[in-house]
Amino acid sequence: VGSSEINHGGMIFDIEFYALHPDYPEDHDDTSDYDVALVKLAYPLKFSEDIQPIMMAEKDYEPPAGTKAYVSGWGRTSFGGQLSKNLRGVELEIIDLFDCFLSYMDKVNVSERQVCAGIPVVGGKDSCTGDSGGPLTIDGVLVGTVSYGEDCAKAEYPGVYSNIAEYRDWIEGLIRVES
C-alpha cells in the first residue's frame, strides 16, 4: 500500500478476513461471473498523500458507452510478457454492454453484472494477466475491477470488468457485519 513500485516502498498489511461473492462458482474459470471479493486488513490504514480511499459507483450506475475510464495495475505489459515493476495505467472507453456481449458471444456469456472497456475496434491497450482485481475508474470513482479479456488488449475483444455498482449491496452488507 502506498507505492507505485511493486518491490520498493509502501507497506505490506496482513489480511484479517476475505470473502468471495457467494455466487462465484466453485468450478470457476478465468471468465466467471460474480468475480469479486472483499478484503479486510488486519489494521486500519492511515491516509496520507500516497494512501487515499476511493469512492464506489452508486448502486445501479451504468457507465455510458464512450465514457473515458482508467485502469491500472502491475500486470503483464503484453500477452505472455513480463510483469511490470511499476504501476501502469491506461485510458480506455466504456464499451456498450450489448456490443461486448456480441464480441464474446462464441466464447463466454458477458452479463449485466459486468462492464466492458477498451479501445474500440483497434484494441492494443487494456488490462492484462496480473491486473485481476485492479481498479477501473471514471473520474476517480471505482466502477469496476479487472476480471478477464481475450489475450491482452486483443482487437474486437474489450476487457471485461466486474461492475461494482451491481455488487454494492453485497459489499456494504459485509462492511456492516465486519465493522
Tell me the pTM.
0.92
- Does a structural domain hold residue 63? yes
**Are the C-beta atoms of 134 and 54 separated by less than 8 Å?**
no
In a domain, 170, yes or no: yes
7 occurs within a structural domain: no
Tell me the pLDDT of the chain (179 aa) as tens digits: 998 998 888 889 999 999 999 999 888 777 678 999 999 999 999 999 999 999 999 999 999 999 999 999 999 988 888 889 999 999 999 999 999 999 999 999 999 999 999 998 887 889 999 999 999 999 999 999 999 999 888 989 999 999 999 999 999 999 888 76
The verdict on residue 168 lying in a domain is: yes
Q: From CA 167, how far away is CA 163, in angstroms rounded?
A: 7
- Residue 143: give the domain boundaries: 15-178
Rounded to whole angstroms, the Cα distance separating 112 from 172 reads 20
**Half-sphere exposure (Cβ direction) of 142: Cα atoms closer than 13 Å:** 17
- The CATH number of residue 108's host domain is 2.40.10.10
Residue 1 is assigned to a structural domain of this protein: no
